[in-house]
């Protein structure tokens, strides 16, 4: 693994996490963490989301065509190899690795394109700002799972992981697009699934949607984060 990290550093990937941006050096750092829930539909949160210094998004969540509800600004995007795609130069790719092959894929994806499959097909080459790429330490996933979620589910979702990351790097954290939609479904805001399919996130057993929602509600009640529920009711 050390050899892979050295290779990444040699081609321009920094050996530190990119700093979160603030409007002024002496001002607080505001962050919007934007989940993928369909409760964002018809929320009208776009301008509020884009007003933050940093906007964290996840996986392949699109903004084009949904700007009124989800905004258009992205400063950090958390993803796996299986959910990565081309990013604008203004956004940092934050890899969430679960296996050594994930880091090997990153080195390949910004150089040779040699790796085309992990446990399934992945994008062989990606366009992104190499100088702002970051790799989340797997220990942070363990910390989130054990300390904050009491080991509920097999591992934390990228969404809750992103909230925990923001809490460690931002002065003010606002959370959008988490939880079920108004009908109790768990589909993404850009999807239109059949009712039976819309429960996927909750019934897979991989993530504990109820435990994660309870955690966010507790943090909101204690004034640590602000949760925007959108069109969930």
Domain positions in the chain are 2-228
190 near 66, Cβ under 8 Å? yes
The DSSP secondary-structure symbol of 106 reads H
11 near 131, Cβ under 8 Å? no
Q: Give the Cβ contact number of residue 87 at 10 Å.
A: 20
Structure tokens at 120: 């399934």
φ/ψ of 142, rounded to 5, equals: -65, -45
Structure tokens at 184: 């109790």
207 an active-site residue? yes
What is the pairing mode between strands 172-176 and 54-58?
unpaired
The DSSP secondary-structure symbol of 24 reads S
φ/ψ of 82, rounded to 5, equals: -75, -10
Does an H or E element contain 47, and which? helix 46-50
Q: Tokens 């996927």 — which residue?
A: 200
pLDDT at 25: 65
28 near 50, Cβ under 8 Å? no
Instruction: Fold for 2-228, please state it.
Output: sialyltransferase cstii, chain A (3.90.1480)
26 near 20, Cβ under 8 Å? no
Query: pLDDT under 70 in the chain at which residues?
Result: 23-26, 193-205, 231-233
Structure tokens at 156: 């934390």
pLDDT at 197: 46
From 45, 80, 145, 155, active-site residue: 155
pLDDT at 204: 47
- Using DSSP's 3-state secondary structure scheme, residue 154 falls into coil
Structure tokens at 104: 């090997």
189 an active-site residue? no
From 52, 76, 145, 207, active-site residue: 207
The DSSP secondary-structure symbol of 27 reads S
- Using DSSP's 3-state secondary structure scheme, residue 209 falls into helix
């Amino acid at each position: 693994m050390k050899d892979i990290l050295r290779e990444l550093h040699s081609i321009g990937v920094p050996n530190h996490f990119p700093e979160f941006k603030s409007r002024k050096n002496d001002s607080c750092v505001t962050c919007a963490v934007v989940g993928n829930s369909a409760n964002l539909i018809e929320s009208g949160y776009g301008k509020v989301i884009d007003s933050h210094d940093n906007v964290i998004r996840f996986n392949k969540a699109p903004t084009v065509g949904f700007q009124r509800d989800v905004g258009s600004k992205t400063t950090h995007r958390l993803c796996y190899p299986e959910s990565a795609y081309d990013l604008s130069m203004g956004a940092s790719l934050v890899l969430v690795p679960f296996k050594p092959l994930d880091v090997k894929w990153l080195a390949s994806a910004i150089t040779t394109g040699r790796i085309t499959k992990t446990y399934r097909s992945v994008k062989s080459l990606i366009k992104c700002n190499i100088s702002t790429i970051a790799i989340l330490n797997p220990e942070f996933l363990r910390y989130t799972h054990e300390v904050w979620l009491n080991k509920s589910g097999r591992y934390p979702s990228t969404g809750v992981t992103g909230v925990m990351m923001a809490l460690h790097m931002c002065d003010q954290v606002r959370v959008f697009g988490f939880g079920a939609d108004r009908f109790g479904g768990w589909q993404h805001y850009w999807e239109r699934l059949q009712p039976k399919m819309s429960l996927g996130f909750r019934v897979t057993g991989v993530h504990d949607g109820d435990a994660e929602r309870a955690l966010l509600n507790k943090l909101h009640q204690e004034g640590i984060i602000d949760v925007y529920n959108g069109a969930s009711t």
